[in-house]
Structure 1
Amino acid sequence: MELVVGRVAKSHGVRGELVVEVRTDDPEARFAPGIVLRGRLPRSKEVRDFTIESAREHSGRLLVFVAGVSDRTAADALRGTLFVVNSEDLPPSEDPEAYYDHELEGLTVQLTDGTLVGTVTEVLHSAAGELLSVKAAEDNREILIPFVNAIVPTVSIADKLVVIDPPEGLLDPE
């Protein structure tokens, strides 16, 4: 299974630097100089390898130079490219309370009393922290649940289950 670790938002400057929206919790490792990432090009099924030359944080995104991209035109052509890694290539997490996004997606979400809430569709990474995007079982609306211990006391990958204890109003439709 391919996991998206970043998406090229646009070019930056005239020397081929890419603005990358980070979709990994370990950007320092994924975008380290010398790392080769597979990139799925936009509007195409073509996949290319990209060697990271440098990366630096800028306004919540990364500014990345990749080998072979040395001007704005070449960088603009990569807009929308998804950088991916193979989930089988990821080492198991050493932290029992740390999860890869793909491990959480598809898990059933229920309240502490066993009431079904829905299914995790995506893990969103924001400046304020991680959010679980849950498709409500009742009406298919999206519910955003802060992924913090106070609200999400239990995650069981083996049981394919996330148990939540939301504060009043979190699950109410807007």
Structure 2
Amino acid sequence: MAQVVVGRIVRPHGLKGEVVVEVRTDDPEARFQPGVQYSTKNGPMTAATVRWHQGRPMIGFEGVTDRNASELLRGIRLSVEIDEDEDADDEDAFRDEHLLGLKVIDREAGEVGTVSRIDHGAAYETLVVKRQGRGPALIPFVADMVEEVDTETGTIKVDLPPGLLDL
């Protein structure tokens, strides 16, 4: 069993303690249900209510009954325990911890740097790559640019469009 981050609390919504959650899972309908218990840095939290608005879950947690209490939850990551083999069937599925620290190598430019963070957006994830002597490179983690992820050798091979690394 492993703890996997499935969401991050973005902000409060309304006056009754609900929060808006940024989804970080490929199975949000299963991960965000009333009764699901999440592990957080503040201890376990249980979803009392879940409703969807503009593609995001809005969750009311047990014991959080007003906006002041929900305001204190900003930025908290919600984790669930999953079976290690649960995502083994999908060879294209990578969790953040699989990608952090891997070297990014571009077909044309050679070694770009090392993955230091993954930003989760609405449409796709973005690799934040730490580069020597330069600011970070932001590389969309999409099939059009990422050719291969090899966790055995610790590399991600990419084919980036001209100019992307200059942004």
TM bracket, shorter-chain basis: 0.7 to 0.9
Name structure 2 gaps, 5 residues minimum.
none
User: 1:5 and 2:6 equivalent?
Assistant: yes
- 2:105 alignment counterpart: 110
> Given the alignment of the two structures, is residue 32 of structure 1 paired with residue 33 of structure 2, yes or no?
yes
State the AA in 2 paired with 1:120: V
1:68 aligns with 2:69: no
In terms of mean alpha carbon deviation, does 68-77 or 86-95 score higher? 86-95
Alignment partner of 1:48 is 2:43: yes
* Cα deviation, residue 34, structure 1: 1.7
Aligned to 2:139: 145
Residue number in structure 2 paired with 1:77: 72
How far the C-alpha of 1:118 sits from its partner, in A, is 0.5
- How has the CA–CA distance of structure 1 residues 110 and 8 changed in structure 2, closer, same or farther, with 3 Å as cutoff? same
Task: Sort the Cα spacing of 1:78 and 1:147 in 2 relative to 1 into closer, same or farther, 3 A.
Answer: closer
Give the match for residue 161 of structure 1: 155
The amino acid of 2:19's aligned partner reads L
Where 1:103 maps in the other structure, the secondary structure is helix
Number of positions where the alignment pairs a residue of Structure 1 with one of Structure 2: 166
| Rounded Cα–Cα distance in structure 2 between residues aligned with 1:123 and 1:87 | 20
User: What secondary structure does 1:171 align onto?
Assistant: helix
1:6-21 equivalences in 2 (<5 Å): 6-21=7-22
Structure 1 residue 169: Cα displacement: 0.8
* % identity of equivalent residues: 41
The equivalent of 1:23 in structure 2 is 24
How much does 1:164 deviate? 0.7
Taking structure 2 as the reference length, the TM-score comes to 0.83
Mapped to 2, the partners of 1:81 and 1:71 lie a distance apart of 17
SS in 2 for 1:150: coil
- 8 Å CA contact 1:93–1:99 kept in 2: the answer is no
Amino acid at match of 1:67: E
Once superposed, what is the RMSD of the aligned Cα atoms? 2.5
